Structure 1
């Protein structure tokens, strides 16, 4: 709570009658103006657009508020805050976020399709994972994609733009320069249309694509099993095989997928003994990792690898799988960022 609100003395909180009658909207405008003057951050953009407009209109109509009236408004506001026992998320989208993991995806989709979605469709779209929005940028008109990019948080927009093919990314980026005269109603309609299209998609039993699921399984399979399966997929369905290969990430892929700056973090993701065994099982990858450590630490690992000797195939593969599992967990926790694979 801001310093100005806290300065109202407890004795003053007995005031109940305002010297000057104000409506609830005017009182809200007074509180917002006071908090803004104190430099307190207020998430006004989280309000529905009509409420934002009403609040701004009230602030434009008010002129001067005397000290006694201000104190009384603050006392009333603080008293209401102190009387709050439980706050619920605003709007249906806020409720759906709170219930995430506690209700089925089918139930959530049904609620959205029934028209109970948020007043601002962009709140819904901003909460979607990148893989749900990427097809919109790839398939919609560049003008629509430019509006989407402009409405997303900068970090999210940059991430999605980086996933687009070069030519498409350049066209979308240029189209952003043409959005200066787009009116809010059009932006809102675009958001509503995209949200409705996404909500109309039937729920999927699996979160990941088939190629990603097979790739994840082959990641931890024995090497000869992985090669046999891939050879069979090449013969049966070359397109699907390519998807699977792109999803596969094994210890052999570490030099191509792990940035040199992240190597010290990778060396800490699993037990040191397992890391030594993995590097002993595949020396070329081990050399890549050691080349991006300090000389002293690298020499320590080299001595341990020499003492370890060549591990049994089963032990080596288990250690390499443990390293990859640790890298995946570090990526999920956003401790490192893997280099995107262009092909398997």
Structure 2
């Protein structure tokens, strides 16, 4: 409650007194707790999970110490809070991981990787802080190798968006098992959760970091994408003779002009063609009429009729292309598709088994 003062009312000749209530004196933590309580009373989530465990504990203790809050005190706390918001011109990331996410498109891979390692180190006493800062690609193997119960606890301790991304990237059967395992975690103790977090960090720390970001399959697949078809088939034949399983995976990773109808969504064709020089598109169509007719028809059918007729006419009027010229033009179209996929502008259809 707030303080109360007895004040004489001059209008009544000083004979009557009226009570004036003053706001209670609260610490900064208590004021924060008042705002949180107000937000919760209006069913507004204050995103407390973004605070450190220590800050969350301090907030809970401050909330427990408040007692009843008078209208005057609440009004004063809200007034002070809104005044600070009005004076706020810019917000900055609260954690190094948030800063990396903001800067990632604008910094070099070397700087990004070094900062990620620093962010993952985080608070060495809290394994979950490190796990929360890690990329989904690094965490996903844990969901496959650990028990369903441990995987369920990992998902439960991560943010909703990251947990959803991890679950969506799993095979359907495994995702269903882990989703069900979440229902079995109600009786897990905090001490057990901490031990599990420490175990998961230990597992990841024991895996030496590769010098290459892409897998061997993706690396050789990208190389073979850029060579001519005859050489590509010769190299794949040699791979099959040495390691048939590896060769099969490489074939799945390869994406060429011939794969376009099976791997590209029709609605993405206009976006792809805008990325490629029109003269290159014309040469690719001219070369593809003989080498990949299904791809040519797919591309022409999924652009405007007028543009398709123009490209078909231009391709038909070109002099006969040398094989290397046709290969180069089709490779540029493939390169544009790969670039758009890496930028997240399009999504390729997964290759058939």
Question: TM-score per shorter chain, which class?
Answer: 0.7 to 0.9
Equivalent pairs counted in the alignment come to 323
1:141 aligns with 2:151: no
Q: Judging changes above 3 Å, is the alpha-carbon distance between structure 1 residues 145 and 219 closer, same or farther for their aligned structure 2 residues? A: same
Matched with 1:5 is none
- Structure with the greater relative contact order (CA < 8 A, sep ≥ 6): 1 or 2? 1
1:308-327 alignment, distance < 5 Å? 308=318, 310-327=320-337
1:24-103 alignment, distance < 5 Å? 24-33=28-37, 42-62=46-66, 63-67=68-72, 70-71=75-76, 75=80, 89-90=94-95
| Shift in Å, 1:335 | 1.3
Counterpart pick for 2:25 among 12, 16, 21 = 21
Do the aligned partners of 1:118 and 1:124 also contact (CA within 8 Å) in 2? no
Greater shift in the superposed pair: 152-161 or 162-171: 152-161
1:230-309 alignment, distance < 5 Å? 230-282=236-288, 283-308=293-318
Greater shift in the superposed pair: 295-304 or 131-140: 295-304
- The two structures have a TM-score, normalised by structure 1, of 0.76
Counterpart pick for 2:348 among 321, 338, 342 = 338
Do the aligned partners of 1:93 and 1:124 also contact (CA within 8 Å) in 2? no
Note the alpha carbon deviations across 1:16-40, whole angstroms, 9 max, x for none: xx95332232122234446667898
The DSSP-based 3-state class of the residue aligned with 1:340 is coil
1:180-219 alignment, distance < 5 Å? 180-219=186-225
The DSSP-based 3-state class of the residue aligned with 1:267 is helix
Do the aligned partners of 2:23 and 2:76 also contact (CA within 8 Å) in 1? no
- Give structure 2 stretches of 5+ with no counterpart: 1-21
| Shift in Å, 1:337 | 0.9
The DSSP-based 3-state class of the residue aligned with 2:345 is coil
Do the aligned partners of 1:215 and 1:247 also contact (CA within 8 Å) in 2? yes
- The two structures have a TM-score, normalised by structure 2, of 0.74
1:143-162 alignment, distance < 5 Å? 143-152=149-158, 156-162=162-168
Q: Judging changes above 3 Å, is the alpha-carbon distance between structure 1 residues 231 and 284 closer, same or farther for their aligned structure 2 residues? A: same
Distance 2:175 2:84 in 1: 52
1:116 aligns with 2:120: no
Distance 1:271 1:104 in 2: 32
| Shift in Å, 1:321 | 1.6
Distance 2:170 2:77 in 1: 55
Do the aligned partners of 1:215 and 1:248 also contact (CA within 8 Å) in 2? yes
Pairwise CA RMSD of aligned residues? 3.8
Q: Judging changes above 3 Å, is the alpha-carbon distance between structure 1 residues 198 and 309 closer, same or farther for their aligned structure 2 residues? A: farther
The DSSP-based 3-state class of the residue aligned with 1:64 is coil
Distance 2:217 2:211 in 1: 15
| Shift in Å, 1:287 | 0.7
Do the aligned partners of 1:112 and 1:199 also contact (CA within 8 Å) in 2? no
Matched with 2:179 is 173
Distance 1:131 1:66 in 2: 50
| Shift in Å, 1:152 | 4.6
